[in-house]
Chain A
Amino acid sequence: MGRALITALVFFIAVAGAWRPALGRAGIRPEPAALPGGRYQAVTARKEAPAVTVAPYRLDRQPVTNAAFLAFIREDSAWRRDRVTALAADGGYLAAWSEPLALGPNAAPRAPVVGVSWFAARAYCAARGGRLPTEAEWELAAAASPRERDGRRDPAWRQTVLDWYARPNPATLPDVGRGRPNVWGLSDLHGLVWEWVNDFGASILVGDEARLCGGGANGAIDPLDYPAFLRAAFRSSLEGRTTTPNLGFRCAYDGGGS
């Protein structure tokens, strides 16, 4: 009787393991989280600037890992470090990897992939049937804390978000998924790496070349939105081919649950 029970248990675990790969091994990701969308107003916009309405969407629960990106490159060799074009990426592309097709000691399989350009990130997400999130989708997801949909009014949570900017980059990045997920089940939107959005080019800092035909804004920053403002400044510094050692991404997908 006991043996049968053990056998049944082993079978159950095996079946569960085969059908719910949430144990986070390399190359396999849990299903993305569903978000309802909503209204989004960028921090740098004036009051009369249009708020964006975001349709329901899905978002990867964690940033794309080194292992997952390696698997993608094995499928589409055009994105190998020694084959990519100068149009698509700069000299820092996958610089932390030891070889074009090997991670090496400085890029743990479950750590977020960094040193990827916008073009490379888009190609990965397209290959997975998705796309990069928009700024609106990303920021709506990131406003949530582990307890609330909008955690920005919680000073303690806000400070943990700001603390990341006070810390220097670690020598090697830790694995994804170690922090507490927010109410949507998303981890690592704060505290790990910067993440690409599809419309990074919508972030413009007033400069020599900017034409403010929409009457841009330079007013006081709402202290609640300081990290969002830092993110806007960071996105403004990027080009499509830019790679940095702490810039990664996750994918979004059209349509979602509630």
Chain B
Amino acid sequence: MKRSAIRMCGLLLFLLTGGTSSCRRTGEGRDEKTSFLTPTDAPAVPPSLSRRSPRLDVVELEVREQVMSLASGVEYTFWTFGGHVPGKFIRVTQGDTVELHLKNNAGNKLPHSIDLHAVTGPGGGSPSTFVAPGQESQFTFKALNPGLYVYHCGTPPVGMHVANGMYGLILVEPRGGLPRVDREYYVMQGDFYTVGPHGQPGLQAFDEEKAIAEKPSYVVFNGAEGALMDDHALVAEVGQTVRLYVGNGGPNLTSSFHVIGEIFDRVYPEGGSRVQENVQTTSIPPGGAAIVELKVEVPGTYALVDHAIFRAFNKGALGQLKVFGPPAPDIYSGPQEPRSITALRGRP
């Protein structure tokens, strides 16, 4: 019994240390230019890049645990990358080297880390960034693949850290950048689990049993019910092309992302490199993302929803895109006075 355990251990260690025992120094003596990134809070996106040569991108994220509003009258202690849910949007180019600093605010209770799906390397960076309150960690990775990627806290119990809002997006643009559009926005869906039922006011605690049973109390865009409604709605003008970077932090639910009254002219399904066209609803799994593009032609208010529709109207998965501009009655008439079909048919 002992010998086979040792053998297995030996095999495992051989595999584990095979890659790490050779010394690889990174980050020293590079002659790339250095950029200091300023990641943004949703729904804003950092300006587009069209870089031809790789750079060293230095980015700093600070984890802050703080009480914020989850819905009207409902408060929750969110664990955040940068003070909001979702966490800050990071934008780099394929081939860049990214030096990521993770700070854990001294006022926090828990240790945290970060796992970026754009990272190739063990844990996506999580073991290298594990950090106690008041401390700072750092690691550096090369963005090998383009795409739109989720990042989230990788500290066990990971489900609880994610359920409390620790997720965001990192965009790795192909060299030369994505084609330009008129508007870009950052939207991220998440499910929340509270001890009290949906709508119960006051400071709500995380409900571990509901999370394990996958029965959320809230399903929202950008960290709160109403985060993209009314005064906070996304805006565009008739004739503009809007690109939405849509992520799904989960922890549990897949989003059936749809904009009522619009069609996605182009979708990069799963945030990858292929383009699908003319899509009504696209599936975004937890821990996944998609890029959708739509040209808006008719003014009005368009609802962003998770088309598993009870989530939209009973749990909060509802946002708005308001389009301003001249009407386009030949595309969409609005209400009409019904005319007689019989009369229509009767005409010679």
Contacts and interface: CB of A to CB of B under 8 A. Distances in A.
Interface in B58-75: 65-67
A75 interface: no
Contact of A165 (B5, B109, B128): B109
Interface stretch (B39-47, B86-94, B205-213, B256-264): B205-213
A229 B157 contact: yes
B208 A223 contact: yes
B197 interface: no
B215 to A, nearest CB: 14
Interface in B8-39: 8-9, 12-13, 16, 20
B325 interface: no
A211 B13 contact: yes
Listed residue (B131, B132, B204) with the most chain A CB atoms within 10 angstroms of its CB: B132
A234 interface: yes
Contact of A242 (B122, B126, B135): B135
A229 B156 contact: yes
Contacts of A163: 205
Bin the interface of chain A by size: 20 to 34
Contact of A207 (B127, B132, B209): B127
A169 interface: yes
B308 interface: no
Interface string A117-147: 0000000000000000000000000000000
A235 B110 CA distance: 10
Contacts of B156: 205, 221, 229, 233
Given A212-B12, A215-B5, A226 B157 contact: yes
A198 interface: no
A230 interface: yes
A68 B127 CA distance: 37
Nearest to B64: A168
Given A162-B208, A221-B157, A226-B208, A208 B127 contact: yes
A63 to B, nearest CB: 16
A157 to B, nearest CB: 14
B128 A168 contact: no
Interface stretch (A1-9, A15-23, A31-39, A243-251): A243-251
Nearest to A245: B106
B65 to A, nearest CB: 6
A85 B68 CA distance: 39
A47 to B, nearest CB: 14
Contacts of A238: 132
The 5 A-B pairs of least Cβ separation, nearest first, read: A207-B127, A237-B111, A237-B132, A166-B205, A244-B133
Given A238-B132, A245-B107, 4 more contacts: A92-B134, A167-B203, A207-B123, A237-B135
Interface of B: 5, 8-9, 12-13, 16, 20, 65-67, 76-77, 106-111, 122-123, 126-128, 130-135, 155-157, 160, 195, 203-206, 208-209, 212
5 contacts: A168-B66, A169-B65, A169-B108, A229-B156, A245-B107
